[in-house]
Structure 1
């Protein structure tokens, strides 16, 4: 299956795609440019708002209104007015920035951190923010990356990229606490796991940094089920749209085969 190039603006590192199913809008970020993008597939129109520090991920509020996490704080962005308003901050180390995040079923905002501008072993954490309060739920990570919930929300899957593994945690929806259970997937080839999303069957689509693909895994068996190839090595994350297709973000690389790395790609739904 061929990946379609949807958007390319010579960005270094696109990340954090998330689809607003109620309004058929896609959001994603360019981390180091501090740019938050809103893309409307029906019109191909794309809007952007620039923040003043690296931006990592997005939480949807309502139509063309999102919350974006940046190193300098969480900002509410209105794409109708193209205005950003500071909302709150989670205090992190000066030599860290935020990375991947996800919202749980009751509205908690989960978000990981990593060293910045250099990766620092064991500096990363995963925070949970709810009703104005935050706490640490996972510690001592290198690059806190992909987060996904099981279909019944009882499990949290988590990627610390350099480990080349996907961890499984039990998740208490009442308290927001987690408990490590096991490593369920291990990457043994060139690619390292980055961002991910879950499909309707409960399987995990995982972006492979250095692997030039998305790979599909069964979290119960730990087996790889399928691969979708991309034309650039560094694949960062993915999300489903309302037609069952997959949007995929990528990053630049020094590889000579880096065709449109830093672009946004799309796989049409053909049952993959």
Structure 2
């Protein structure tokens, strides 16, 4: 087994948007627009950051918006709202967007959380208990033709997924238990098998939140309550390095900029005590840090 070499973090993280997000999430770099999209789930807001000009733009929604991906064949985004999958075109700004599918009408206390597209253009999104307690969450695959299928269940809070280099493994987070699972992933069929624990965070090191994969196949994982993003070998799960942040609740990350060597990192104020809020004035900000090697372009939704 070849050991993955550690990356080099070239600078301290910079705050690029002091948004004070209640629950920043959903980081997505648009290669097409050369801009970073992200969301504030609990404030029901979509953000867009243009690093070249520093422009910031936001859209308000009627309910929680939790994750997103660009569409391959037309402008706009597929998004997960509180209850399911929808399309949204930022240029048209039609709010609320129309639902494509709502897979859990029998679970009104659930909401969607994190999600991403696989390399074949299918959107994978997870649901969770809004109170972060009951194991009522599940993992869904939404296909470009509108079909929706459930592939795992029994989670209180879901985060991820991300894939290995080449796509043969999918990683998915059971955040409340601190576990990251790996599944064998059949890219052609879009199916999962051989679920196993790949990593469990040590007590006191936070909980695994959003994550991404870089071009070398390494996983970068945000630590809720751990004030960092850690980088791991995709096979052994060995930690290779970590990016320390000036606030506790780190929620997601995505590589961006023209060379895909800037790691954008979202954070949250939710769950912080008044003392923590005072000690962490950049809580809820969007951060950026340069890495010596690139990430991967985010796959596009095929619909």
Check whether TM > 0.5. Answer: yes
Partner of 2:6: none
* Residues 121-136 of structure 1: pairs in structure 2 closer than 5 A: 121-130=134-143, 131-136=145-150
Partner of 1:57: 67
CA contact (8 A) 1:49 1:83 kept: no
For residues 181 and 241 of structure 2, what CA distance do their matches in structure 1 show? 20
CA contact (8 A) 2:67 2:113 kept: yes
* Residues 249-260 of structure 1: pairs in structure 2 closer than 5 A: 249-252=266-269, 253-254=272-273, 255=276, 256-260=278-282
Given candidates 182, 195, 198, the residue that maps to 2:213 is 198
Given candidates 166, 184, 187, the residue that maps to 2:180 is 166
Partner of 1:209: 224
Partner of 1:68: 79
Given candidates 91, 97, 108, the residue that maps to 1:80 is 91
Are residue 104 (structure 1) and residue 118 (structure 2) matched?
A: yes
Given candidates 103, 108, 112, the residue that maps to 1:94 is 108
Partner of 1:147: 161
Partner of 2:248: 233
Q: Secondary structure at the match of 2:279?
A: coil
Moved over 4 A (4+): none
Shifted more, 213-222 versus 78-87: the winner is 78-87
| Per-residue deviation, 1:83 | 2.6
CA contact (8 A) 1:233 1:257 kept: no
Residue by residue over 1:2-58, the C-alpha shift from the partner in whole angstroms, topping out at 9 and shown as x without a partner, is 111111233211001011123211110010111111221111112222111111101
**Structure 2 regions of 5+ residues with no counterpart?**
1-10, 295-303
Partner of 2:27: 17
For residues 103 and 83 of structure 1, what CA distance do their matches in structure 2 show? 23
| Per-residue deviation, 1:139 | 0.8
| Per-residue deviation, 1:73 | 4.2
CA contact (8 A) 1:231 1:257 kept: no
**Measured at CA, do residues 168 and 45 of structure 1 come closer, stay the same or move farther in structure 2, by a change above 3 Å?**
same
- Higher strand fraction (1 or 2): 1
CA contact (8 A) 2:163 2:213 kept: yes
CA contact (8 A) 1:209 1:234 kept: yes
CA-atom RMSD, angstroms? 1.8
Q: TM-score by structure 1 length?
A: 0.94
**Measured at CA, do residues 112 and 159 of structure 1 come closer, stay the same or move farther in structure 2, by a change above 3 Å?**
same
For residues 119 and 147 of structure 1, what CA distance do their matches in structure 2 show? 18
For residues 181 and 120 of structure 1, what CA distance do their matches in structure 2 show? 22
For residues 245 and 134 of structure 2, what CA distance do their matches in structure 1 show? 29
CA contact (8 A) 2:84 2:112 kept: no
For residues 148 and 226 of structure 1, what CA distance do their matches in structure 2 show? 19
For residues 250 and 126 of structure 2, what CA distance do their matches in structure 1 show? 19
Q: Secondary structure at the match of 1:83?
A: coil
| Per-residue deviation, 1:64 | 6.2
| Per-residue deviation, 1:75 | 3.4
Alignment length, in residue pairs?
A: 271
